[in-house]
Amino acid sequence: MNSAAFAHTLQSWFGVGPLWAWAALSAFLVIFLLALPFGGIATYVERKVAADIQDRVGPNRVGPYGILQFLADGVKMLAKEDFMPAGADRFLFNLAPVLVVVGACSAFAALPLGKYLVGADLNIGIFYILAVTTLIAPGILLGSWASQNKWSLLGGLRGAAQIVSYEIPVALSILPAVLISGTLQIGLIVEQQGWAWSAEGLQQYHFWNGFHNPFTFIAMFLLFIGGLAETNRIPFDLPEAESELVSGFNTEFSGMRFGLYALAEFCDVFVMSAVVTALYLGGWHIPFVNIEGLGVTLPQGLVVLIQFGVFLVKTLILVFVVMWLRWTLPRLRVDQLMGLCWKGLTPLALLNLLGTALWMWIFKGQSLAQLIYGAFA
């Protein structure tokens, strides 16, 4: 089958060079042009969003509207003294931020940024993303231990327990989308969410997975909530709570190490939002429009750009919602947090999975939209 991989696309455009070189270049582009700039700009956007919600101005000194604030923050972090607490474990103290960043940024390789822009359209795409983001938990745990600080250790233990517990509703909420598409391959899951008109009317693809049946609608929200908990965002951010644990597990990390933790957190937020977008909100599909089925044949570069733009817009809307929630909702206590996961989200996610399976069996895999269209057509 035609590979949708970024490297193959680049190779077909330029025609020269071995495939592994294009793969390395596409990895470089995705990480350094998407993940890292997003991590930096997200810190600025978060502060502006916070300022808006709290009815104040926010950073506005560095550059027009304060837009270069993230560069100033970066320079500040790089220039800070790199110290380590007295009894801290050198190796673990250095290793922990690395694990967290590797876990968060490796997931970018499998995100479906566009039809021909998947870094690596793996057969086990969504499973790979789930697997690689579990590397964050040992990173947090080791960082909190290596700090030689009781409060850091408590924050780290809570953080790791939270991440491991909420992986279950997240995995169970990913499954309805996999059930509908019959494959773990993210490129195919997104492709099947298109709404394609042809001369005979609606083609066989169903609309976005989130609106496929009522159970996937709920699963979409469960995945979003689970993603909030996985990335330690409010209302689940007790591990790094500012007012409770003196910044929790990253108390003793300063300068660029703390910068790595913050970068990994924002990258993880992007990955989780991208997963929700790709699985339930149609990925790079424009609603009701099939770009490649229009009368004119657009150049492939334009198509790629439009699809990437659509994906980015949807993901950034979800990231904005994540930031909005941070300044709106209070923080959950740790027993409420765990109770919500084990007694609330996990049974609900199981029921969603069962409901989706029943729907697929009864209605032979057709979505609500297809049923309604079939009833009126």
Partner 1 sequence: MKLVLFLSELLTVASAFVVALHPNVLYASIFLLFTFLGVAVMFVFAGADFIAGAQVVVYVGGVTILILFAIMLTQWLYQMRLRDVGNKLVVPIAVIGLGLVPFLYKGLHQLADFVSKAPPPNLAAFSGSPKTTAIGEALLSSYLLPFEGITILLLGALVGAVWLARPK
Residues of this chain that interact with partner 1 (CB under 8 A) are 20, 87, 91-92, 95, 122-124, 127-128, 130-132, 134-135, 137-138, 141-142, 145, 148, 150, 153, 157, 160-161, 164, 167, 183-185
Q: How far is the CB of 339 from partner 1 (least distance, A)?
A: 15
**What phi and psi, each to the nearest 5 degrees, are found at residue 62?**
-90, 105
Nearest Cα to Cα of residue 118 among 15, 225, 2: 2
How far apart are the C-alpha atoms of 216 and 359, rounded to whole Å? 10
Q: What b/e sequence results for 209-218 when a residue is b if at least 16 CB atoms lie within 10 Å of its CB, and e otherwise?
A: bbbbbebbbb
Q: How far is the CB of 65 from partner 1 (least distance, A)?
A: 41
The answer to whether 122 touches 110, Cβ cutoff 8 Å, is yes
3-state secondary structure of 124: coil
Q: How far is the CB of 151 from partner 1 (least distance, A)?
A: 12
Q: Which amino acid is present at 364?
A: K
Beta carbon of residue 183, minimum distance to partner 1 (angstroms, whole number):
8
Distance CA(287)–CA(213), nearest Å, equals: 17
Residue 11 CB, nearest approach to partner 1 (Å): 16
Which C-beta is closer to partner 1: that of 124 or that of 303?
124
Structure tokens at 141: 């745990």
Instruction: State which residue, 3 or 290, has the beta carbon closest to partner 1.
Output: 3
Q: Let me know: does 71 contact 41? Beta carbons within 8 Å.
A: no
Nearer to partner 1, 142 or 263 (CB): 142
The least CB distance from residue 150 to partner 1, in Å, is 8
Q: Please state the closest distance from residue 357 (CB atom) to partner 1, in A.
A: 13
Q: Which amino acid is at 181?
A: S
Q: For residues 50 and 157, which CB has a smaller minimum distance to partner 1 in the complex? A: 157
Q: Which is nearer to partner 1, 58 or 138 (CB)?
A: 138
Q: Which two tokens stand for residue 222?
A: 């469960």
- Residues near 320 by beta carbon (within 8 Å), at least 6 away in sequence: 45, 49
Instruction: Tell me whether residue 144 or residue 213 sits nearer to partner 1 (CB atom).
Output: 144
Closer to partner 1 by CB, 42 or 279: give it: 279
What is the Cα–Cα distance from 72 to 68, expressed in whole angstroms? 7
